[in-house]
Amino acid sequence: MIQETHIDSALKELFKNLTFTQKPEGLYDPLRYMINIGGKRIRPRLCLTAYALFKDGLCEEVLAPAAALEVFHSFTLIHDDIMDKADVRRGVPTVYRKWDENTAILSGDVMSIESYKLVAKAPAEVLPEVLGLFSKTAAEVCEGQQYDMDFEDLECVPMSDYLKMIGLKTAVLIACSAKMGAMIAGASAEQCDLLYKYGYDLGLAFQIADDWLDTYGDPAVFGKAIGGDIVNNKKSWLMTRAFEKADELRTDLMAAMAMPVHTEEHRSAKIDAVRKIYDTLGVGEEAKQEIIRLHGQALAHAAGLDLATDEYALLENYAQKLIGRTK
């Protein structure tokens, strides 16, 4: 049985050896930058974890596809940061801030292509299915990002629309990670589907946790400035739930959202005003309860796999580490 320490070692070695040596350097330097600044590697970790449930070792056949998930995710971050006008990512300047927007767009594009080159190294017998899953997921992530941008022009959105958006933008790639690892390991269709559902529910929980951290987190831990969602009027879980509950505070909430953000003082004032309304409505605590609910739902799917105790523990520990950021 593979231990978490084996997965840790494999990930460390995998990304140590993942180098982009092509030229021109102006195109590929941002790729190296994004990989080298690290991150939690939650998607490749889940891919390897799912694979380990059905195999005795981490073979070469799964390593490149696992890396593809991180490379694709990094591509989306490069472009997201341009669209969100984010200055900091993982505690360092974003690619478009360190270089410029044109470089970030083009480097993001080539990073997407590099992810396909990596996933194409999956075993030939499952390659059509793996590529189909990856391509479908890649399109869904872009669809989710478009919904996210569309929502910025709306006063508020129904919770069902918000959940659909984060399902596409965030949850499907985590779900894909779990299913891909299982597919490469030769798991049954039923087992792959259960792992997809496990990953999807964890992905929802992860995004809601991210929303919570954007308002209530520690910038040093979160890796970027707090309050970006509020400043940009992003339809986070907290904002969506606040509008559902606002009633007599609705006018105050709309006024807070309309506050100027031209200076740092303006931005801080807006963040404080919206957060005060969140606190009054209790949506921060509700978000944490929803994260716990989705965590339990994910583990129920994992239980359906009928795994040995130590195998189930791999999925249980992964889930706990993923949502533990809000504690």
Check if the beta carbon of residue 130 is closer than 8 Å to that of residue 119. yes
| Mean pLDDT value across residues 259-269 | 95
Residue 287 in this model has a pLDDT that exceeds 60: yes
SS3 content of the chain, % helix, strand, coil (to 5): 75, 0, 25
**Which pLDDT band holds residue 223 (cuts at 50, 70, 90)?**
low
pLDDT in tens, 47-93: 999 999 999 889 999 999 999 999 999 999 999 999 888 888 888 99
For residue 327, what pLDDT is reported? 47
Helix 159-166 and helix 127-151, axial crossing angle in degrees, nearest 10? 140
pLDDT in tens, 26-52: 999 999 999 999 888 999 999 999 999
Is CATH 1.10.600.10 the right assignment for the domain spanning 4-326?
A: yes
151 exposure class (CB count in 10 Å sphere: 0-12, 13-18, 19+)? buried
pTM flag (> 0.85): yes
Find the angle CA(54)-CA(58)-CA(64) to the nearest 5 degrees: 115
pLDDT in tens, 108-155: 999 999 999 999 999 999 999 999 999 999 999 999 999 988 998 888
For residue 20, what pLDDT is reported? 92
Spans of all domains in the chain: 4-326
Check if the beta carbon of residue 166 is closer than 8 Å to that of residue 194. no
